[in-house]
Amino acid sequence: MKRHFTSLVLGFILAAVTGASAQTSVDSTRTRAYLAAHVGTSGAGLDFKVAVKPSFTIRAGASILPFDYNTLMTVRAQPAKIDIQADFNNAHLIFDWHPFLKEKGLSKKAFVSVGAGYFWKAEGSGTASYDGTYQYGDISIPSSELGELTGRVEWNKVAPYAGIGFQNPFPMRKVNVSFSVGAFYMGKADATLTGTKLLVNNQANQRQFEENMSFYRILPVAQVSLNFNLF
């Protein structure tokens, strides 16, 4: 599955860059500024980009990623309601460097990014509860009386970013498209697992849950930006 996904993403990037290569550069000596709207795995947002040098672009902006997912599934052979919520909202400052400006073709558009994000929200929670009426002998207990199990995760506020991407450094058109792939390093998350009512005795699982969530340190970023040439 992962291989398929990898191939799909690589193919997508290749196709996108091939399309972008139809653009041609013009004046490569003056500073250019863009307003960019982006959407991707880290959410949607806006960037202000400034190409202070032909090979060097600074982009500052913000992204928000509200996530809410509800589903019914079977847990331990019982119907369960699962509610997952997450928020990744960040302001970021990223530096893009075009190392192959003198090359032609796709290489010219490649850039390397480093930067950091400030996440005013980098947290998620998942709540599982029994869906239905639990039967204890002759006593019917509604799900509201059974309690729920909630896992909460919170990551660092400040996260470094690294990535790569493709964009036309000196687009002639007013609007152009760029692509980037990278990751924020979120660090080890603070994770808590709490239960209520009949699930209240799950403190013993806290350590295991923390360990499981310690594997989630990277927020992958694959995004497409629509850049508007300001001047």
Partner 1 sequence: MKKIFTLLSLSFLMGILNYGCRNPAYQLNVLFDGDVIKYKTTIMLVEADGAALPNNMKIAVTGQDAANVYDFAGLKAITAPNGVITLGIDPKVEPTTTRPLQFNVQVTADNYEPRNIPVTILPNQFSQILRAALLKVISNTPASAVKTIEAPLGAGGATTAPVSLVTPATATVTEVTSITIPAGTTFRNAAGELLVGGSLTARAINFDAGNPAALEMFPGADLSSPNVKGPDGQTGSAFFLPAGFTDIDMFVAGQEVKNFSQPINVGVQINPDFQPVGSNQDVKVGDQLAVYSYQNSTGQWQFEKNANVIRDASNKLAVNFTTDHLTVFFVGNVVSTRTCAPQSLRFTAPWLGSATITTLVQIFRTDGETLIDEEIVIASDGRVVPITGLPPFAVKYKILNASTGLLLASGDIDNACSNGNIAITLGQPGQPVQQVTLTLMVKCNGNFIIPPNFDLFYKPAGAAASQYKYLGEVSRGQLKTVMLAVGSSYDFRANWGNQTKTVNNKTITNLDMSTTVGEYDFLGDKSPEYNKALLLEACKGR
What's the min distance (Å) between Cβ of 30 and partner 1?
27
Nearest to 5 by CA among 222, 226, 224: 222
Q: Where are the alpha helices (DSSP H) in 89-228?
A: 106-109, 143-146, 206-213
Using rule CB under 8 A, residue 201 touches partner 1? yes
26, 39, 172, 218: which one binds partner 1 (CB under 8 A): 218
* CA angle centred on 59, ends 217 and 97, rounded to 5°: 85
Q: Does 99 bind partner 1 (CB under 8 A)?
A: yes
Phi first, then psi: give them for residue 167, nearest 5 degrees.
-155, 155
| Site for partner 1 contains 78 (CB under 8 A) | yes
| 126 within 8 A of 83, measured Cβ to Cβ | yes
Identify the H or E element spanning 39. Answer: strand 32-40
**14/26 with CB nearer partner 1:** 14
**Scanning residues 123 to 182, which ones bind partner 1 (CB under 8 A)?**
126, 134-139, 141, 145, 149, 151, 162-164, 181-182
Among 69, 107, 228, 230, interactor with partner 1 by CB under 8 A: 107
Find the binder of partner 1 among 76, 104, 174, 231 (CB under 8 A).
Answer: 76
Report the Cα 114 to chain-centroid distance in Å.
16
Decide: is 2 part of the binding site for partner 1 (CB under 8 A).
yes
In the region spanning residues 9 to 38, those forming contacts with partner 1, defined by CB under 8 A, are 9-10
Segment near partner 1 (CB under 8 A), from 14-22, 28-36, 168-176, 202-210?
Answer: 202-210
| DSSP 8-state secondary structure symbol assigned to residue 10 | H
Residue 121: exposure state from Cβ atoms within 10 A (0-12, 13-18, ≥19): middle
- Kindly indicate which of the ranges 19-27, 46-54, 62-70, 191-199 contains the residues binding partner 1, using the contact rule CB under 8 A: 191-199
Closer to partner 1 by Cβ: residue 1 or 22 = 1
CA distances from 83 to 87, 127, 128, 190, 197 (A): 14, 5, 7, 19, 18
Length reported for the chain: 231
User: Whose Cβ is closer to partner 1: residue 59's or residue 152's?
Assistant: 152
> In a 3-state reduction of DSSP, which class is residue 19?
helix
Residues in contact with partner 1 by CB under 8 A are 2, 5-6, 9-10, 75-78, 99-100, 103, 107, 110, 112, 126, 134-139, 141, 145, 149, 151, 162-164, 181-183, 193, 195, 197-202, 204-205, 208-209, 212-213, 215-216, 218, 220
